[in-house]
Amino acid sequence: MRDICNYSLKAHNTFGIDARCSRFLEYENEQEAQQVAQILNGSDTPYIIIGGGSNLLLTQDYEGIVVHSAIKGYEIEGTSMVCGSGMVWDDIVAISLQHELYGAENLSLIPGDVGASAVQNIGAYGVEVKDLISTVCAVEISTGQHRVFRNSECGYGYRQSRFKQEWRHQYLITKVCYEFSPVFEPHLDYGNIRAELERRGIASPSARQLRQVIIDIRNAKLPDPKVTGNAGSFFMNPVVSRDTYEALAAANPGMPHYTVDDCHEKIPAGWMIEQCGWKGRSLGRAGVHDKQALVLVNRGGATGSEIVNLCRKIQQDVKERFGVDIQPEVNII
């Protein structure tokens, strides 16, 4: 177990903010997770639990304990894969295809760790990880006991879970079990997947071809955090009532949307931000990516507070033009 005081978190957040924490605890197995739980439970010091830092914005030094999982490894039995919470998510997608296990192709190249996938309910191109998660294993911080949660207990919704809401910082996730399909059933009707496949002359893609298309699309529109600090999609796409959408669509011809159910539509936040003129613009050292308006970037030396100020200005402009609230997907500390 790593236990370090006055620790820099620059390598643990993809915005590249050089904030520090008072103490950093990292566990490599379930027994160490229990030790960390004992430390946290016996201390009055505040703490936060982080993953790969791809969904994190630090606005200042953290005067408390930061906890991180470094549990690696995976086991495959049939169509199930049990993965350590410190594994890189995209590695799991690649491994699943190597073993002819399908269902995660559209989630290719989403940054972050396995543990965070179960907290955030990551999703992209019409697929959410909740549809793959079977169980989540964790250590309860208050008791140090091992817990196993079935998918139905986790309260999954759009970018939400009970781990992110009422269970926030109550559990140290150790393993996640994903249930894949032995049959490849491509999901092609979200975003510009079909258009890109047609451009490449691919009528019926294999799983590996679909994964590569997703990777190429993401690389084309998302900046590399090693070059330009960012956290991927900064805002969640708002879900509105059908009546609200129809009124907005009438006033804004061509407004894109995705049907959630009979009563709700999802509107791309990036489209609304772009309509407000923010694509490619900057506010000081923080800016909006010139290829994808959903992505806020660190132009170089930006503080977390500068990025938050940009976030608030964008929210204000979207609200004034469309009457819709857009909320950050990123955790702001």
- Residue 100: strand, helix, or coil: coil
Give me the pLDDT at residue 179, please.
Answer: 98
Could you read off the pLDDT of 31-48 as tens digits, one per residue? 999 999 999 998 899 999
- pLDDT tens readout for residues 183-242: 999 999 887 899 999 999 999 999 999 999 999 999 988 898 888 999 989 999 999 999
Cβ proximity of 305 and 59 under 8 Å: yes
Q: Which of 258, 303, 263, 255 is nearest to 283 (CA)?
A: 303
Pick from 111, 106, 109, 113: nearest CA to 131? 106
Distance CA 265, CA 319 (A): 17
Q: Which residues are catalytic?
A: 159, 233, 329
* Cα atoms found within 13 Å of the Cα of residue 11, Cβ hemisphere only: 4
What domains are defined for the chain?
2-69 (3.30.43.10), 74-179 (3.30.465.10), 229-332 (3.90.78.10)
Half-sphere exposure of 141 (CA within 13 A, CB side): 19
For the stretch 13-34, pLDDT in tens is: 999 999 999 999 999 999 999 9
- The pair of three-digit structure tokens given for residue 59, joined into one six-digit string: 């606005």
pLDDT beyond 90 at 54:
no
Helix (H) or strand (E) holding 210: helix 207-221
Give Cα 81 distance to the centre of its chain. 20
Rounded to two decimals, the pTM is 0.87
pLDDT given for residue 221 in this prediction: 85
